[in-house]
């Protein structure tokens, strides 16, 4: 799986958009970008994933650059409950269940009142 690079920490004002960047310059053509978050000591939670097109769901939007070497997770209106560690990972699409999923150190997002 390709390596990802994320800032260690970020702050965001409550109600504003939180933009979390991720660099994955060695991503290969069959690797998806996934985002998870982990609220203190809870199990990580899947947020969103994408291949090359931008994606949006009820939680967030994912913007992937045209060259796919970086992406940004956008939380449109951050709340205090969005304070968490956000992990960006890349992984190969389903290959019969052989999926080793490796998490990096992530970005610690602090939403400030």
Question: Which stretches of the chain bind other proteins, using CB under 8 A?
Answer: 32, 34, 36, 38, 41-46, 49, 87, 91, 93-94, 96-106
Shortest distance, position 72 Cβ to other proteins, whole Å: 19
Shortest distance, position 15 Cβ to other proteins, whole Å: 28
Q: Which is nearer to other proteins, 14 or 55 (CB)?
A: 55
Distance CA 76, CA 62 (A): 11
Residue 7: strand, helix, or coil: coil
Distance CA 4, CA 89 (A): 6
Cα-Cα-Cα-Cα torsion 81, 86, 92, 96, nearest 10 degrees, comes to -50
Shortest distance, position 10 Cβ to other proteins, whole Å: 17
């Amino acid at each position: 799986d390709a390596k990802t690079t994320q800032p260690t920490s970020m702050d965001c004002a409550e109600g504003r958009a939180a933009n979390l960047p991720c660099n994955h310059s060695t991503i290969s053509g069959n690797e998806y970008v996934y985002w998870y978050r982990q609220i203190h000591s809870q199990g990580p939670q899947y947020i969103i994933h994408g291949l090359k097109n931008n994606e949006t769901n009820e939680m967030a939007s994912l913007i992937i650059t045209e060259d796919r070497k970086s992406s940004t997770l956008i939380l449109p209106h951050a709340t205090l409950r969005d304070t968490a560690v956000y992990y960006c990972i890349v992984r190969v699409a389903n290959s019969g269940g052989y999926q080793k999923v490796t998490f990096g150190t992530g970005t610690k997002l602090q939403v400030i009142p």
